Each structure stands twice: as C-alpha cells, then as structure tokens.
C-alpha cells in the first residue's frame, strides 16, 4: 500500500492520477465534462456526469497502473471550488443541476447583501468579498427557485455540498456528508477564525443549518469507499479545493511562500501562516489546506484571462493555428515595440475588480505586426500576475512580514519559457517551475498520504519537491518598473468607460 490515488475534479474535465510514495506519476486518466449554458451568465454541470466521469477515470487509472485498490494507501480529492450541489438525503438524487463557480445568476442576491451593509461583516468573518462567485448565494437561489426545495431543506431532507462533498457522498454511498476547511471557506457562510459554519451568515442568507456538511481539516478521515466501486474499500484521507491543493503540492507550507497557477485564468496564492489579515490591495483571504485543527490562511488573487488570451489569438484573431505556436511567433520580434494588450474580455479581477473593463490594445503604430500583438498578449499574463504579486507583497509588509522572495509556478502556460523568463524579469525574483507540474492533484495525494501515515510531516514533503528549472531575473529594475507603470497606464485606459 505505497500508492496514492488523487481524484482531480475540474471545471472542464475529471481526472485521476496514481502517484507513488515519491510523488511520481504512475498513471493518469481523464474524461471531459460537458458544460451546460441554459442562458447568458448561467453555467451548470450534471451532478451525475461529475460522479460518473470521476469514478470512470479512477477505475481507468488503476487499470493503467496495473495495480488494484488494495495497493492504494489512501485517496485524495481536489475539486473545482464554489460549484454548488443540493440533493435529497434519502434518495441521493440532486434537486437541480450543479451551479458552477462561473455562474452569475445570484448577483441580485449579492446586490441585496451589499445594500444591507453586510460587506464588512462578510469580509471580516470569511475573508471574502460579496460576489456571485461563491457558493452561499447560489445555494440561496436554489432554495428559492426549485419548487419545494426550501420546505424540504427546513425538514432536514436535503444536503448541500461543493463537488468534494458530493463525491464523498457517492464514494461512501451516503455514509459521510463532509467537506474540508479550504472548500468550506469558499462558501461565504464559513467563519475562518473558528473553522465553523457561521450562524449569523446562515440566517442572513436564510439557509437552514441542517443542509450543511461536517467540516474537517484537509488531512483527516473522510470515510472509506464502498467496496464494489473500486474492487476494495479505500480510505479517503485528503481533501482540498484546487488552488489550496496546488499551494500544498508546491510545498508552500510557511508564511511568505507563493505559487501561481497559469491556466485559463491565473490563480496566485501566498501562504499567510496563522495570521488572518483582510487585504488592503484587492485580494481575498482564504483558508489554506490544513493538516491540523488550527486555522491557517492564504492571500489569493485571481486573473480572469490568463492562458485564454492565447486561445483568443488562435480562435479570434486567427494569428496562430494551435496554441503551441505562440512562443515562436512572439520570439520572432525582440519585444512588443511598445504594444500593450489588456485582455479584459470579461472585466478585470484582482487586484483591480473592474467588471466593466473591456479588452484594450495600446501603443499601435504603422510598424506593428501580429508578432508584436502576440508578444503583448503573452506578456499580459505576466503583467497581470506581476500586479497580483505586488499587491501580495504590500499586504505582507503591512502585516509585518516580508515581500515574496520566490514564485513557484504550475499550470499549462508555465511550460512557456519566454513567459516564465519575462515573469521573473518583471518581478525581480526567481520563478521556479517544479519537476511535477501536476501540483493540484499532488497536493491532494500528499494530504491523503499524511493522514494515513505514509508521510510523517511536511518536512518530508518539502524534501520531495524538486525544481525542474529556475528562471532568474536579468532585466534592469528601473526598466521593469517602467514597464509595470506602462501596464498600469494601459489598465486605466481599459477601465475609462
């Protein structure tokens, strides 16, 4: 029993990865997850498809690894956060499709909460800003709009869960209704100081407490899988939301350590230790993955359009035929020749929070080519991430800490060497790409390994973490400052509506 199985349930796919005790990938299986768009601004998933795709990939990964469930020491689960599912406790049947984290239908509820003056209360208790992104208002919408749901909830007949909770319910065949602190902290209903559901917030959103799952540390006993599913019962020992899991997988265990995930968007998290601090620079405070009962926190910033800007070059401008061509096109010119591209296609996230911003290209001249625009598009990912890191460092210094001294990176766009070098140049600190870029799944596996005794502590996990490449800054600091100032000027133009 020296293998770990990570279930990685994401927005666009379900994946399962078998790791050995050294954190090396043994086998991987993946299935796409269909997206449902009932009307503009609404995004749903089928809870049955979430479950079936995840179970199928788990079975496929074991088969590919040529091992049985008896060889698995424990299962770790990591998941798309904030996505909201409600089901009947007796039948296990969902009352509605899952409302995905991207879904905006509960914005009118958020507006009411703001008008009631709850913004400060919610931020102080949960670390979050009032937004339809989070699960709480999605849950209220379901109770108010699915016929009979509220009455059933008040009779204790329904269960709420984020995707991790739904998967555990299925894996244990209804024996466990649980979540972990990192997922609970994304609901806007959880007091991150006490690690408990907050009665005042539940009352304000009119949500019966009977709906809510039990909350455990991220490394704990979440139950065991029913024997028929994988051929043998396996303990579920680790659970964390995808971004907190990636922070853990990057071995960022102490205050000041930071990672950035370059995916469709970018998610930067900095471990903040045991100190809760509300950001003065447009960031969220969230619960980090926790191995014990004492609260641990992270500062988080989200960029809405990261790698998606490359998809826009491909599908919108038709500048490239496939995403892999962007680096060579961008490298065909020495720089962007003054072109700045702000990819505010869906507004700007942290640290700006400008939902009305629109995509903008500045600095065009008669000599501008597609190559310059491609380079500016790629660099926009680094500029946005640079603004996040600067905000984090300002918060850290204000709290009596130190600025971030190294950025660990993962995600699809982290394989782009041009982008990673430019990121290091802008930040003036090393950017480090690990040997295993599957850090989200790895974090869940490590949490499970700790709970079952395969690992003795985080020091052992830190020793397993290996760098594949370090990108050292080479740009003059005055030049880097000038470029960031030009970026901020371009952002102001994108938001001048």
Distances (CA, A) of 271 to 219, 287, 404, 407: 17, 9, 10, 12
- Of residues 185, 163, 13, 157, the one with CA closest to residue 97: 163
What is the pLDDT at residue 223?
Answer: 96
Contact assessment for residue 382 and residue 426, using Cβ atoms and an 8 Å cutoff? yes
Hey, what are 455's tokens?
Answer: 């690992």
Strand order in the sheet with 72-79: 25-32, 13-19, 3-9, 72-79, 236-241
496 vs 171 pLDDT, higher one? 171
> What is the phi/psi pair of residue 157, to 5°?
-90, -10
Task: Out of 175-179, 356-360, 441-445, pick the least confident.
Answer: 356-360
293, containing H or E segment:
none
pLDDT band for position 441 (cuts 50, 70, 90)? very high
Instruction: State the average pLDDT over residues 250-267.
Output: 89
Q: What is the arithmetic mean of pLDDT over 177-184?
A: 97
pLDDT of res. 497: 58
Average pLDDT over residues 256-285: 88
Q: Is the pLDDT of residue 391 over 80?
A: yes
Q: What integer is the mean pLDDT of 389-404?
A: 83
Helix (H) or strand (E) holding 56: helix 47-65
**310-337 pLDDT tens trace:** 888 888 888 888 877 888 888 899 989 8
pLDDT in tens, 12-36: 889 999 999 999 999 999 998 888 8
Write down the pTM of the prediction. 0.89
Structure tokens that stand for 269 in this block: 């998290």
User: Of residues 467 and 317, which shows the higher confidence score?
Assistant: 467
Residue 399 reports pLDDT greater than 80: no
Which pLDDT score, from 0 to 100, does residue 237 have?
Answer: 96
- In whole angstroms, give the CA distance from residue 60 to residue 66: 10
Alpha-carbon distance values, 361 to 340, 365, 440, 456 (Å): 6, 11, 33, 52
pLDDT reading at 437 higher than 90 = no
- Mean pLDDT, range 299-305, rounded to an integer: 86
Q: How many CB atoms lie within 10 A of CB 275?
A: 13
CB 72 within 8 A of CB 234: yes
- 383 contacts 426 by C-beta, under 8 angstroms: yes
**Alpha-helix residue ranges (DSSP H) falling in 399-476:** 417-427, 439-451, 458-464
Query: Looking at the predicted structure, is the pLDDT value of residue 401 above 80?
Result: no
Cα separation of 96 and 89, whole Å?
14
| Domain architecture of the chain: domains with CATH | 3-234 (3.30.420.40), 251-434+466-497 (3.30.420.40)
Q: Give mean pLDDT, residues 492-497.
A: 78
Report residue 246 as tokens: 């990636």
Render pLDDT for 108-131 as a digit per residue (tens, 0 to 9). Answer: 999 999 999 999 999 999 999 888
- Estimate the crossing angle of helix 242-249 against helix 439-451, to 10 degrees: 80
**Summary mean pLDDT of the chain:** 91
User: Is the pLDDT reported for residue 285 higher than 70?
Assistant: yes
Percent of the chain at pLDDT > 70 equals: 100
């Amino acid at each position: 029993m020296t293998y770990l199985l990570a279930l990685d349930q994401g927005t666009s796919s379900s994946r399962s990865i078998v790791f050995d005790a050294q954190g090396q990938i043994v086998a991987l299986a993946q299935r796409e997850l269909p997206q449902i768009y009932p009307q503009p601004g609404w995004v749903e998933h089928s809870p049955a498809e979430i479950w079936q795709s995840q179970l199928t990939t788990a079975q496929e990964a074991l088969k590919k690894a040529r091992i049985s469930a008896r060889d698995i020491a424990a299962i770790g689960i990591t998941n798309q956060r904030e996505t909201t599912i409600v089901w009947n406790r007796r039948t296990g049947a969902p009352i509605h499709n899952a409302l995905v984290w991207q879904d905006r239908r509960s914005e009118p509820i958020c507006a009411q909460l703001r008008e009631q003056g709850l913004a400060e209360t919610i931020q102080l208790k949960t670390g979050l800003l009032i937004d339809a992104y989070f699960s709480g208002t999605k849950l209220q919408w379901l109770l108010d709009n699915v016929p009979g749901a509220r009455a059933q909830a008040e009779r204790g007949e329904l269960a709420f869960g984020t995707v991790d909770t739904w998967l555990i319910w299925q894996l244990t065949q209804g024996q466990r209704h649980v979540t972990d602190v990192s997922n609970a902290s994304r609901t806007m209903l959880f007091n991150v100081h006490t690690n408990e559901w907050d009665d005042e917030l539940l009352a304000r959103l009119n949500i019966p407490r009977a709906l809510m799952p039990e909350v455990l540390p991220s490394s704990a006993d979440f139950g065991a899988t029913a024997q028929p599913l994988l051929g043998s019962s396996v303990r579920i020992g680790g659970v964390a939301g995808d971004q907190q899991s990636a922070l853990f997988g990057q071995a960022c265990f102490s205050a000041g350590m930071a990672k950035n995930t370059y995916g469709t968007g970018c998610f930067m998290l900095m471990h903040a230790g045991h100190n809760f601090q509300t950001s003065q620079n447009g960031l969220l405070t969230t619960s980090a993955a926790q191995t014990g009962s004492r609260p641990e926190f992270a500062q988080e910033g989200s960029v809405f359009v990261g790698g998606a800007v490359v998809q826009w070059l491909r599908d919108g401008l038709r500048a490239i035929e496939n995403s892999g061509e962007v680096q060579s096109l961008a490298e065909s010119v020495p720089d962007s020749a003054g072109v700045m591209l702000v990819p505010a296609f869906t507004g700007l996230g942290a640290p700006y929070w400008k939902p009305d911003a629109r995509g903008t290209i500045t600095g065009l001249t008669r000599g501008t080519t597609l190559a310059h625009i491609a380079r500016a598009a790629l660099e926009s990912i680094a500029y946005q991430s640079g603004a996040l890191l600067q905000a984090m460092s300002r918060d850290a210094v204000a709290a009596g800490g130190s600025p971030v001294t190294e950025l660990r990176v993962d995600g699809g766009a982290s394989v782009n060497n041009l982008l990673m070098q430019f990121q290091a140049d802008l930040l003036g600190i090393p950017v480090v790409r690990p040997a295993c870029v599957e850090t989200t799944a790895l974090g869940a596996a490590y949490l499970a390994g700790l709970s079952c005794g395969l690992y003795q502590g985080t020091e052992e996990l830190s020793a397993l973490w290996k760098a594949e490449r370090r990108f050292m800054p080479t740009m003059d600091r005055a030049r880097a400052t000038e470029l960031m100032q030009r970026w901020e000027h371009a952002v102001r133009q994108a938001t001048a509506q």
